[in-house]
Chains A and B, each alone.
Chain A
Amino acid sequence: MEPFRDDNDLIAELRTLRPRPSQEFTTGLDERAAAGFPRRSARPGSPLSRLSAWLRTLPPRRLALSVTATALAAVAVATVIVAVNEPGKDPASLAQVEPTAHRPNLTPMAESTNSHLQPSTASSGQRHAGGGDSSTIEYNAAPPTATEGETASGEESSGLEVPAGGSAGVTQSNSSAATGPFASEVRHRDVERSAEMVLGADPDRVADDSAQVFDAVHAAKGIVLSSSVAGGAAGDAGARFELLIPAAKLGDALAAFSSIDTVVSRHEATGDITAPTVRVGEHLRDSRAKIDGLLVQLAGADSDSERAEVEAELSAERHRAASLRSQATKLGRRANLSRVSLRIETGSGAATGGSGGDWGIGDAFHDAGHILAIAAGVAIVGLAIVGPLLLIALLIWIASRARLRRARERALK
């Protein structure tokens, strides 16, 4: 038999060995091709696997665009969520604090609330166009702390002296059993409120703002304990007010102060003085009863020495009653009149954003920077979380591809 003449002869013969598909198969495949290769069997895979299969069909550029758009959308959404819920940036923070400061009945425990409300400088909501202060200011609310001058038990550290010995002591013991150290059985609570506020103003607006402060105090039927207004350049000009505002109108007065100029900081505190008030009242009643008893005893005195002894005791008890009345008056004043310390400051940072409460271009830049900082923070946190996961997934994918490639090559061998 004649061997192959050359490679061409061999190749020509080799091509005759080429496998050829059957007519039936080619016809069927052509039909499927014309129909766009519909899937032959509906795979009941999980949504994740279907998503994965769909992603695999996407062109790389489109996939990259989709991933980028999704990531940007996630960052944007997270930024909005963080910006809205940022501590101290939520306008609702004030609404959450103020009811605590104004509610007439506090919890049975002696309560002291110390709320520090501070707007972010130059934020878009910093300026007031007028009206309620809870609608536009952004505040930082600090956790409650004990008010200065009060002990943890609710008793004041000053202004109340518990008498030692005598019948009053017995009465106090009984009344403590009735009311407890926090006067928890008393339905009406006496709450002392105080506030500090710092307004930022341009130097040329200090006088005008001060006049508005007086007007607001007058409108609230408050008392100006002291005031000082100084003119001059930024930093030197300013004003300071020590005010007493009827507790019922404290919220309105603070809202009025807030609308005068830029609120730099605001601090409110409440303290429950029910227990000392009740205790002083009980001591006062005991003292009066004792005075009445001494008067009866004096009328029935038989000797001069006995009469002198009762009169001395009566005099001491009257002094004590006067002292208790004074304490009761002070406590009542503290409950009814809230002390407000108000300052108007000038200088850098005191009145950002211009005068008159307008939101300006500087505020816009500041807000934009703030939002970008939040977005960057969100992106960094997201990368810190997603990055390692993506890296692990990438490594797994690479290892899986390499293993598959090796397995395929082994299959060929």
Chain B
Amino acid sequence: MDQTLTAPATEAPREADLAFDHLYRSSRDDVYAYVASLVRDPAAAEEVTAAAFERAYRKRSRFDPGRGEPRAWLFGIARNAALDELRRRDRQAELTAEPADLVSAPAQESAEASERRLALSAALSGLEPRERELIALKFFAGLSNSEIAAVVGVSESNAGTRLHRAVTKLREACDGAL
């Protein structure tokens, strides 16, 4: 991540390029985490993440800061790319917190911690897809409520309410399992 997005060497980097460089650096892993949660396939997640950044890069000069946060704009593009991938594959998005090949469990972990993790994954799988998406945006990608609202197309208060409801539901499911 030490590289800078470069225009041709003869041109000075434009403001939009510098801004996108910063956005890319700060959001690469978050976008991947969110996309991977949606598509449940590491290879597809990598493809979609790369495609999302490519789309965003091509449209970077069309981004209007007055209309929202750059991260919300980027995650909106990533969301569309992921949903397009899901449509292409003609299958539903089944969010799982722990797809077998997405989560790397710590090597030395107690049995109790592992059990808690599995219970949490199962509870996460039991959520509605939209609730799982909110969880992914909030806790995997680290978006604020306003950014989440912009990505999923609801008001900020509505996003907060839905998120709170999803967390409560998730905790209740975990408590029941444990």
Query: With the chains together, A411 CA to B95 CA distance in Å?
Result: 12
A408 at the interface (CB under 8 A from B): yes
Q: Are B98 and A17 in contact (CB under 8 A)?
A: yes
Q: Are A408 and B80 in contact (CB under 8 A)?
A: yes
Q: How many residues of A contact B (CB 8 A)?
A: 41
Pick the interface stretch among A57-65, A103-111, A142-150, A165-173.
A57-65
Which of A13, A19, A39, A412 sits near B36, CB closer than 8 Å? A19
Which single residue of chain A is at the shortest CB-CB distance from B103? A17
Q: Are A17 and B124 in contact (CB under 8 A)?
A: yes
A16, A18, A35: residue with the most chain B Cβ atoms closer than 10 Å: A18
Q: Which of B8-30 contact A (CB under 8 A)?
A: 21, 24, 28-29
Q: Are A57 and B58 in contact (CB under 8 A)?
A: yes
Given the known inter-chain contacts A11-B167, A13-B117, A25-B46, please indicate yes or no for A20 contacting B175, CB distance below 8 A: no
Which single residue of chain B is at the shortest CB-CB distance from A25? B46
Which residues of A have CB within 8 Å of B170?
A: 10, 14
Given the known inter-chain contacts A56-B59, A59-B62, please indicate yes or no for A34 contacting B133, CB distance below 8 A: no
Q: Are B139 and A18 in contact (CB under 8 A)?
A: yes
A2 at the interface (CB under 8 A from B): yes
A228 at the interface (CB under 8 A from B): no
Q: How many residues of B contact A (CB 8 A)?
A: 61
> B164 CB to closest chain A CB, in angstroms?
9
Q: Which of A1-16 contact B (CB under 8 A)?
A: 1-4, 7, 10-11, 13-16
B160 at the interface (CB under 8 A from A): no
A29 at the interface (CB under 8 A from B): yes
Q: Are A19 and B32 in contact (CB under 8 A)?
A: yes
> B65 CB to closest chain A CB, in angstroms?
12
> A4 CB to closest chain B CB, in angstroms?
6
Query: With the chains together, A154 CA to B46 CA distance in Å?
Result: 89
The interface bits of chain B over 42-64 (1 if a CB of A lies within 8 angstroms of the residue's CB, else 0) are 10011001100110011101101
Q: Are A30 and B53 in contact (CB under 8 A)?
A: no
A300 at the interface (CB under 8 A from B): no
Which residues of B have CB within 8 Å of A409?
A: 83
Q: Are A36 and B5 in contact (CB under 8 A)?
A: yes
Q: Are B28 and A29 in contact (CB under 8 A)?
A: yes
B4 at the interface (CB under 8 A from A): yes
Query: With the chains together, A413 CA to B132 CA distance in Å?
Result: 11
> A65 CB to closest chain B CB, in angstroms?
13
Which single residue of chain A is at the shortest CB-CB distance from B88? A411
Q: Are B140 and A19 in contact (CB under 8 A)?
A: yes
Which residues of A have CB within 8 Å of B93?
A: 411-413
Which residues of B have CB within 8 Å of A16?
A: 117
Given the known inter-chain contacts A17-B103, A19-B140, A411-B83, please indicate yes or no for A37 contacting B175, CB distance below 8 A: no
A395 at the interface (CB under 8 A from B): no
Given the known inter-chain contacts A13-B117, A19-B103, A32-B50, please indicate yes or no for A412 contacting B171, CB distance below 8 A: no
Q: Are B62 and A60 in contact (CB under 8 A)?
A: yes
Which residues of B have CB within 8 Å of A39?
A: 54
Q: Are B97 and A36 in contact (CB under 8 A)?
A: no
Query: With the chains together, A409 CA to B21 CA distance in Å?
Result: 30
Which residues of A have CB within 8 Å of B38?
A: 412
> B28 CB to closest chain A CB, in angstroms?
7
Q: Are A36 and B32 in contact (CB under 8 A)?
A: no
Given the known inter-chain contacts A15-B139, A19-B37, A57-B59, please indicate yes or no for A3 contacting B178, CB distance below 8 A: yes
Which single residue of chain B is at the shortest CB-CB distance from A11? B139
> A404 CB to closest chain B CB, in angstroms?
9
Query: With the chains together, A15 CA to B30 CA distance in Å?
Result: 12
Q: Are A4 and B171 in contact (CB under 8 A)?
A: yes
Q: Are B92 and A413 in contact (CB under 8 A)?
A: yes
Which of B6, B29, B97, B135 sits near A21, CB closer than 8 Å? B29
A16, A17, A57, A408: residue with the most chain B Cβ atoms closer than 10 Å: A17
Q: Are A20 and B174 in contact (CB under 8 A)?
A: no
B69 at the interface (CB under 8 A from A): no
Which residues of A have CB within 8 Å of B162?
A: none
Which residues of B have CB within 8 Å of A15?
A: 139-140
The interface bits of chain A over 51-91 (1 if a CB of B lies within 8 angstroms of the residue's CB, else 0) are 00000111110100000000000000000000000000000
B contact residues vs A (CB 8 Å cutoff): 1, 3-7, 21, 24, 28-29, 32-33, 36-38, 42, 45-46, 49-50, 53-54, 57-59, 61-62, 64, 79-80, 83-84, 86-87, 92-93, 97-99, 102-104, 112, 115-117, 120-121, 124, 129-130, 133, 135, 139-140, 167, 170-171, 174-175, 178
A contact residues vs B (CB 8 Å cutoff): 1-4, 7, 10-11, 13-22, 25-26, 29-37, 39, 56-60, 62, 407-409, 411-413
The 5 closest A-B pairs by CB, nearest first: A19-B36, A34-B3, A408-B83, A19-B102, A411-B86
29 pairs from A and B in contact (CB 8 Å cutoff): A1-B116, A2-B178, A3-B174, A3-B178, A4-B116, A14-B120, A17-B97, A17-B140, A19-B42, A20-B33, A21-B36, A25-B46, A29-B46, A30-B1, A30-B28, A33-B3, A33-B24, A34-B6, A35-B6, A36-B7, A57-B59, A408-B79, A408-B80, A408-B84, A408-B87, A409-B83, A411-B87, A412-B83, A412-B86
Known: A4-B174, A16-B117, A20-B29. 5 other contacts (CB 8 A): A19-B103, A21-B29, A34-B3, A408-B79, A408-B84
